[in-house]
Amino acid sequence: MATATVRLSEVTSTQKRTLIAAALGWGLDGFDVLLYSNVQIYVMTALGIHSKAISGLPNTFMLLASGIGGVMFGFIADRIGRTKALMLSILTYSVCSLGSGLSSSLGMLIFFRFALGLGMGGEWNTGATLVAETWPTELRAKAIAMVQSAWAWGLASAAVVTWFVLDFFHKDWRLVFVVGLLPALVTLWIRKSVPESAMWIEHRATQTGNAPFSEIFSPPFRRNTIFLFLLNVFGLFAWWGLFTWMPPYLTLPIAKGGRGIGLMNTTWLLVTLNLLGMFPGYLTYGWIADKLGRRRSLVLFTLCAALLIPLYAMARTPWLILVLGVFVGFFGTGFFAGSGIVGSELFPTRVRSRALGFTYNGARAMSCVAPYTIGRVADAHGLSWAFTICAVAFLLAMVMATQLPETKGKQLE
């Protein structure tokens, strides 16, 4: 305990600002992304959408774009710097949230959610790379876990803002998206207060050429790239399939395959799930990964998520939905902190950002079929049955985790 205290006391103000910037970017990313899911049933009514599968298309295209954005911003971050790429990604998803609120047709909404996905995809790998290159090795896992934990606060904020706007402004779902423009203001503080990664600056000063993207598939990295990518493919399919449909699942009447809990109760269920489930799940992962190792922690979290989801899908009483939802959020979301930690430690500086961009956001693009698939299955069999597909996906993610090397304590060059 004494060692940990000394280590934390050595963290500089610059490192703290770097972590805050990455956490704000990621949390507000989650805020903007989940606004659509929270107002999905109102958008369906306003735009005349009658199929759950069709209403899942905006999220499907958003996730597809996130893969493109992750790779694209990976190149940008490796070329112009981590901080500038982080600001650009935040501006992108903020402006496109406003565009979502101005949409008058399904096609227009899909366009803006696609463009939002580009910024969403770029934020994670640029922020995670910036923190990994700035914080000391002994605290890297905890720092990246803290960045990931901001996602839970973003989702909780989205739930509260949605409830407030819909309740006080006559269910005007367009105003919900207008609030999503506010994260753009964070870039003003980042530009003024957050310096560029010293490791990136040193690398740019000494490099003789740009490393090709194909290097992450070269013999030293190929196996790790493939299995980390597949881990994220299955994990992200499970997450997006479950959590993008959770607000409609809780709100829709029982006759339509939901739980009929109502808007206000759904809001507080989601807030509780995020703050008592997802948030501790992210933070706890950093400590568990330092005790058990990166690989064992990934296996533990994905296995528990796979076992809990069927129980959640069978729950009918609000208190049981709440309790099981908290545990599903803890394990099913917390493991993503491990993906970022392992990814940052597997690859060298010259390709780190684009490797994270491909293995995480490329996987997120592959998972774009999750909202549509779960919606399609729900149309035929109900959401409770469709959620079991997410459990199988988490189980496959666990298998992929067993194939990754242990990276605990690895020094970044």
Give me the CATH number covering residue 389.
1.20.1250.20
What is the C-alpha separation between 251 and 249, in angstroms, rounded?
6
Q: Distance between the two ends of the chain, CA-based, in angstroms?
A: 27
Encode 112-146: b = buried (16+ Cβ within 10 Å), e = exposed: bbbbbbbbbbbbbbbbbbbbbbbbeeebbbbbbbb
* Per-residue pLDDT, 218: 86
Residue with tokens 């005349």: 48
- The verdict on residue 114 lying in a domain is yes
- The verdict on residue 92 lying in a domain is yes
Residue 30 has pLDDT above 90, yes or no: no
Q: For the chain, give the percent of residues with pLDDT over 90.
A: 20
Q: What is the pLDDT of residues 296-345, one digit of tens each?
A: 999 999 999 999 999 988 888 878 888 888 899 899 988 888 887 888 88
* Per-residue pLDDT, 114: 93
Q: What is the mean pLDDT of the chain?
A: 84
- The verdict on residue 412 lying in a domain is no
More confident residue, 363 or 272: 363
User: CA of 380: how far to CAs of 77, 113, 256, 375, in Å?
Assistant: 44, 26, 11, 9
Q: What is the pLDDT of residues 69-124, one digit of tens each?
A: 877 887 888 888 889 999 999 999 999 999 998 888 888 999 999 999 898 888 87
What is the C-alpha separation between 78 and 87, in angstroms, rounded?
14
Contact 11, 141 (CB under 8 A): no
Q: In 196-351, where does DSSP find H-type helix?
A: 198-206, 222-243, 246-251, 263-272, 279-292, 294-314, 318-346
Lowest mean pLDDT among 249-263, 264-278, 294-308: 249-263
Amino acid at 373: T
Going by pLDDT thresholds of 50, 70 and 90, the confidence category of residue 3 is very low
- The verdict on residue 292 lying in a domain is yes
Helix (H, G, I), strand (E, B) or coil at 47: coil
* Per-residue pLDDT, 88: 92
- The verdict on residue 410 lying in a domain is no
Q: Which structure tokens are listed for 139?
A: 């605290």
Lowest mean pLDDT among 34-48, 234-248, 387-401: 34-48
* Per-residue pLDDT, 4: 45
- Residue 278 DSSP symbol: I
Q: Which structure tokens are listed for 277?
A: 């489930």
- The verdict on residue 353 lying in a domain is yes
Residue 210 has pLDDT above 80, yes or no: no
Contact 67, 363 (CB under 8 A): yes
More confident residue, 244 or 292: 292
Residue 184 has pLDDT above 80, yes or no: yes
What is the C-alpha separation between 6 and 89, in angstroms, rounded?
35
Give mean pLDDT, residues 40-45: 83
What is the C-alpha separation between 315 and 121, in angstroms, rounded?
33
Q: Which of 9-13, 250-254, 408-412 has the highest mean pLDDT?
A: 9-13
pTM above 0.85, yes or no: no
Contact 329, 296 (CB under 8 A): no
- The verdict on residue 296 lying in a domain is yes
For residue 265, the enclosing domain spans: 15-204+217-401
- Residue 210 DSSP symbol: P
Give mean pLDDT, residues 359-365: 82
Residue 1 has pLDDT above 60, yes or no: no
Looking at the structure of the chain, the number of domains it has is 1
User: CA of 156: how far to CAs of 113, 200, 271, 278, in Å?
Assistant: 20, 34, 5, 10
- The verdict on residue 20 lying in a domain is yes
Give mean pLDDT, residues 174-181: 89
